[in-house]
Structures are given as structure tokens and as C-alpha cells.
Structure 1
Amino acid sequence: MKKTLMTTLLALYTFSASAADLVVNVQLAGEKGPTGEAGSITISESRYGLVFTPNLKGLTPGLHGFHLHQNASCAPVEKDGKVIPAGGAGGHFDPAGSNKHGTPWGEGHLGDLPPLFADASGNATQPVLAPRLKMSDLKGLSLMVHAGADNHADHPAPLGGGGARMACGVL
């Protein structure tokens, strides 16, 4: 019965995928620019919000902060004498000006997404759901995978504590 249910759910998801899906190429981020292909993330619209389905490799195993950032750039930038990989993406997407890091389903930045999980081989393939987002929100943004996990709060570390920018893709 479980196998039949899983097969049915997979078939429904596959059937719901459409030509309107957006595939974003993702590059590993470095101080001099992209350092290699990380893979892609397919974004699909569902009645429950946007589904982000990663097909990424080369990540460190474990959880990674995952966000929409405000600029369509993955270029490195210099800030206070230090180069920030993919710093051209700017901060988290926050069109309402909440100035608050939060959960993907609650208050806070609209760009706060569920974390991505990379398996022991560094592959991320588990889809995540962003219930507050629509495809029309995505124009002119970038996707960011951070080096560490995200606690979806501004404490004890700002912006969830995800740390360095590890991989980036322009929408």
C-alpha cells in the first residue's frame, strides 16, 4: 500500500510539472567568481506554493541555509577590504521590508526558504516547499546555498547563522 501511495504521489507531482517550470543553473561560489558547476534547481508552482527541487553536487554533507537574494548576480564583491563570494546577490529578498529573518511559512524575509540537505556524498536532491512564494516573485533574484545550516532566526547569529555563500544561481 505504501509503495502504491508513493507511486501515485510521484505520478501526480510529475503530471503537475509544466513548461512553466524554471530551471536555475547553480555554480559553486569563489572569491574570483564561479569555481565550477554545482548542478541545477527546478522551481515548480503548486497550489501550496513553490517547490524547489535541487539536483546539486559538491556540497558539504548536512544542512545548508537556502535563500532567495535580492539581486540577479552571483559575482564576488569587496566589502570592508574582504572579498565576499557571490556578494553581488545582495541580501535576502525582503520586498515587504520586514528586516527580520524567519521561517519560510511565517513572518520575515520572503526569501527565507527551507534548508537544503546534502547527503554523505554532497548531493542535494530533496525538494523543499516555499508556501508564501509565487513564480511572479522570482524575476531579478538569485538563489543562494550557504555553507552552514539555518535556524530561521536572527539569534544567536544574524540571518540564521548559515554563514558563507557556497553556491549561487541567477533567476
Structure 2
Amino acid sequence: MRYMTSLGCITASLLLAASVQADDSMEVEIHKVSADGVEESIGSIKLEDSEHGLLLTPDLSDLDAGVYGFHVHKNPSCEPQENDSGHMTAALYAGGHYDPEETDSHEGPYGEGHLGDLPVLTVDEDGNATLPVLAPRLTLDDIEGRSIMIHEGGDNYSDDPKELGGGGSRMACGIVESSESSDDEE
């Protein structure tokens, strides 16, 4: 049964990769974050538009094995900020989850809630995340000038029993540069 599941994941990944549109991609460097600031890089995530939505292909390492909450946040920052209680909080300048329609609802990448919900990030027993995920309601244009966040703990794609899928603190972050800012640098 495990073999069939792995084969299914590999087949789905190959089909997704084959449907990616050329020249509609970018790399986002991901860094660990803490209340002290942005720390070392743990790799990158390739973002690509496809005919089925936004394909995110991580190439991350140095993580604990498990499943993590994975979201697009509204601001392009990974810097810490003081929370309402007066404590510095990792990557708080990134703001909340990307929610342009102001749904205030966490329903996962396939639901009707906010657009910041991505499929969970899976880290293998060697500490690597390489399994591509698909966000069918997003495009690269939607997330330019935003940030990508990895949260401790999983995500149940619901606000029940705990808001925002029950995920934990912000542990890693990357900024999705705007194509306009990269054009300005040339």
C-alpha cells in the first residue's frame, strides 16, 4: 500500500511538472526565523504557474521530519515585530495570511477561505522537503510582493477547534519579490 501511495505521488508530481508554463517561475530563498530576526538559509522554493494553479517545489533541508503549516502572508517581510503582549515575535512583520477577499476564514487550499492557505509542507525523515505542492486558486502574480511562511505543527485547514488550522509559531520565511522590483535592479 505504501508503494502505491508513493507511486501515486511521483506520478502526480510528474504530471504537474509537465503542465508548467515556461518562463512563469521564480525562486524564493527560505530562511529560519526567530524573535531575534532572520537567520540562516535552509534552501529555496521554486514557484511556477501551471494550467492547474501555482506549483511550489521546495528544496529545503535542516528541518525536523513531519508536516508543517504552509501559507502565503500578506507583507513582503520576514522580520520580527513586537506583538500585542509586548514580546518580539518571529516574522510578525509578514502580517496575517493573504486574504484579499477578507473572508477571515481558514479552509485550506481547495476551500472558499482566504487565498493564503497552501497544502501542508512535508519533511522526510532526513530533514528534507522536496515534495511539490499545488495551490489551485493562486498564480505567481497573486503572491508577488508577499511572503511564504512555514509554521511549526501541522494544519487541519479549518478554524475549528483552533484558528488558522491549529498551526504553531512561524519558523521559516521567504520573500516573494515583485517582478517590478527585479526589473528595476537590471
**4+ runs deviating over 3 angstroms:** 9-12, 14-17
Contact 1:39 1:56 in 2 (8 A): yes
Q: Deviations over 1:125-168 (max 9, x none)?
A: 00000000112101221000001100000111110111110100
Of 60, 67, 88, 1:63 maps to 67
Higher helix proportion, which one? 2
Q: How high is the sequence identity, in percent, across the aligned residues?
A: 46
Q: Find the aligned partners of 1:101 and 1:141 in 2 and give their Cα distance.
A: 18
Please, which of 37, 42, 47 is the counterpart of residue 46 of structure 2?
Answer: 42
Counterpart of 1:97? 102
Amino acid corresponding to residue 29 of structure 2 in structure 1: N
DSSP 3-state at the match of 1:95: coil
SS at match of 1:136: helix
Indicate if the aligned counterparts of 1:60 and 1:147 stay in contact, CA closer than 8 A. no
Q: Given the alignment of the two structures, is residue 133 of structure 1 paired with residue 138 of structure 2, yes or no?
A: yes
TM-score normalised over the length of structure 1: 0.91
Ranges in structure 2 where 5+ consecutive residues have no aligned partner? 177-186
Q: Secondary structure at the match of 1:67?
A: strand
Over the aligned positions, Cα root-mean-square deviation in angstroms equals: 2.0
CA distance in 1, matches of 2:136, 2:150: 19
Structure 2 matches for 1:137-148, cutoff 5 A? 137-148=142-153
Q: CA–CA distance in 2 between the matches of 1:17 and 1:154? A: 34
Q: 1:15 to 1:107 in 2, by over 3 A?
A: closer
